[in-house]
Chains A and B, each alone.
Chain A
Amino acid sequence: MSSNNTAPAPTGRRWVWFHRFGSPAWIYGFSTRWAPVCGWIAVVLFAAGLYLGLVVAPPDYQMGDSYRIIYIHVPSAWLSMSSYAAMAVAAGVGLVWHLKVADLVARSIAPLGAMFTFCALFTGSLWGKPTWGTYWVWDARLTSELVLLFLFIGYMALSAAIEDRRTAARASAILALVGVINLPIIHFSVEWWNTLHQGSTVTQLGRPTMDTRMLVPLLVMFLAFNFYFAGAVFNRLRGELLHHERRTRWVQELAHG
């Protein structure tokens, strides 16, 4: 890792921090160290959340046990949106400051975001059948979430299709930033249009509409998904860094060490 600190460090601690943060070798070491930590925290939280959600929480008085899909559906849907926001921020930072690491972070987030979006749609579909009587309906919430999946896939396809990394990063970053407009549309879709999809049950502050025994597992699962996401991004980022920095000395030393 020390092979990378050859440039004289500018004065001031903030500059040292920025210099390090932009250094692929340092980020690689950081990711390697923290991915397993996040992963194991996620495992513990998943175990607790699954036990609380599938065993301890009582059945819903209307939906029976089918409502338990909420414990993976809602965290998936939240993460699909927050991961898109994170990807757009990283891509935007890469676009403005030409920071290679930021581009690679955005590239690492995209497949995970697509997976979360798919999970939200898939579990929603399996929840919709017993609750609404249909697997799919072209409703505002469902359609805008499907558009999110296409945005992730479009981002991945575009960044993979262009040979030159800088051009690929620039083009896909613009796509990611334009797509941000879809996030408020997803969020407010249940208020702006008449939809089958119900409104938010969790974020109505001061008016709790969920039993505590039902709400706690949802919050635990939400935390589990977030730690999982951080760990999975670190793992993906390691591969991206090795691939795009394969000719640099730090990677060569790492591969031979």
Chain B
Amino acid sequence: MGDFLHMGGYAFYVWTSYLVVLALLLWHFLAPLNRVRSLLRTISLQSDGKDAKNTGGQV
């Protein structure tokens, strides 16, 4: 395990690369889901009591 973490003396370069890339990938996958949730909440709050304009099917 110690050898594995040591990465033949390149631990800093290898682990910094992997940590930064994997953290970015994870964040960029999950953050849009938060946006979807908050958009659905905002839309349902804003339009309460108002008639929704029907423009469905617009391309």
Which of A's residues lie within 8 Å of B, judged by CB? 3-7, 22-25, 39, 46, 50, 54-55, 59, 64-66, 68-69, 72-73, 76, 98-101, 111-112, 115, 118-119, 122-123, 126-127, 129-130, 228, 231-232, 235-236, 238-239, 242-243, 245-252, 254-256
A100 surroundings in chain B (CB, below 8 A): 58-59
Closest A-chain residue to B8, C-beta based?
A65
Size category, B interface: 35 or more
B17 adjacent to A126 (CB under 8 Å): yes
Which of the residues B16, B20, B32, B52 comes within 8 Å of A249, measured between beta carbons? B52
A68 surroundings in chain B (CB, below 8 A): 7, 10, 14
13 further A-B pairs in the complex, CB-CB below 8 A; given A65-B10, A246-B39, A255-B44: A22-B59, A24-B58, A65-B14, A68-B14, A69-B14, A115-B28, A119-B21, A122-B17, A127-B17, A247-B55, A248-B53, A249-B56, A252-B43
B16 surroundings in chain A (CB, below 8 A): 126
What does DSSP make chain B's interface, helix, strand, loop or mixed? helix
B29 surroundings in chain A (CB, below 8 A): 39, 228, 231-232, 235
Closest B-chain residue to A53, C-beta based?
B18
What does DSSP make chain A's interface, helix, strand, loop or mixed? helix
Q: Which of B4-55 contact A (CB under 8 A)?
A: 4, 7-10, 13-14, 16-18, 20-22, 24-25, 28-29, 32-33, 35-36, 39-41, 43-44, 47, 52-55
Which of the residues B8, B24, B56 comes within 8 Å of A6, measured between beta carbons? B56
A254 surroundings in chain B (CB, below 8 A): 40
B2 surroundings in chain A (CB, below 8 A): none
A24 to B58, CA, bound (A): 8
A248 adjacent to B13 (CB under 8 Å): no
Leading 10 A-B pairs by shortest Cβ distance: A65-B8, A252-B52, A255-B44, A66-B10, A255-B43, A235-B32, A239-B35, A249-B56, A65-B7, A123-B17
